């Protein structure tokens, strides 16, 4: 089984923000594969299903972004998953809008959601898919930037990135991380 975990912040005020692009990918995967998301004991909206016959759990932590590790650790415990069984999906201000970067592991790159997961799992060795949301414009803090919605001019690119991220996850689950990295990393 693989766990696909999209990070974001719960609540209506965060729904359309850059920080919630991970949630958008989980919602797209759930629609495409008929997975019903509900709230289990893992502090996340989650559901089980399959992607081309491969069992998966799709999840969106209900903790705030910076405490994502709590929900991820619970999901790993509930489903008996190792860190390498995960694919964590996050926003990244260090990548251009729409750019994807899948890695088997690595540093948190300043992302507090990843830092929380690393602390809870005790390792940096878990796959993560970064989705570029672009850098904040001059004078705007990173926090304010990621908590802002995409502009009308950015919306189409953001939606295309979510669709490509969904496809990337599907390839990673069915053909392996390496195949997905070769096809989708830009």
Tally of residues, the chain: 186
Q: Nearest 5 degrees, angle CA 149-CA 153-CA 157?
A: 80
Owner of token pair 């069984």? 85
Contact predicate 23/60, CB 8 Å:
yes
Contact predicate 41/57, CB 8 Å:
no
Our measurement of the distance from residue 29's CA atom to the centroid of its chain's CA atoms, rounded to an integer in Å, reads: 11
Contact predicate 104/97, CB 8 Å:
no
Check if 111 is active-site: no
Owner of token pair 């959601």? 113
Q: Nearest 5 degrees, angle CA 79-CA 122-CA 6?
A: 55
**Can you tell me the distance from the alpha carbon of 186 to that of 184, in angstroms, rounded to the nearest whole number?**
6
Residue 131's DSSP bridge partners are 91, 100
Residues classed as catalytic: 19
């Amino acid at each position: 089984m693989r766990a696909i975990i999209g990070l974001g912040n719960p609540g209506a005020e965060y729904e359309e923000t850059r920080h919630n692009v991970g949630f958008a990918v989980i919602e797209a995967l759930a629609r495409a594969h008929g997975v019903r998301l509900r709230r289990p004991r893992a502090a996340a909206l989650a559901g089980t299903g399959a992607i081309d016959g491969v069992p998966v759990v799709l999840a969106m932590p209900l903790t705030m972004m910076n405490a994502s590790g709590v929900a991820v650790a619970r999901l790993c415990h509930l489903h008996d998953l190792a860190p390498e069984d995960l694919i964590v999906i996050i926003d990244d201000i260090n990548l251009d809008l729409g750019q994807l970067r899948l890695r088997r592991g690595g540093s948190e790159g300043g992302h507090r959601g990843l830092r929380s997961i690393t602390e809870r799992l005790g390792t940096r060795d878990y796959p993560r898919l970064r989705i570029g949301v672009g850098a904040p414009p001059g004078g705007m803090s990173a926090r304010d930037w990621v908590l802002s919605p995409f502009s009308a001019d950015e919306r189409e690119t953001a939606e295309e990135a979510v669709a490509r991220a969904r496809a990337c996850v599907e390839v990673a689950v069915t053909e392996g991380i390496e195949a997905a990295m070769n096809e989708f990393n830009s």
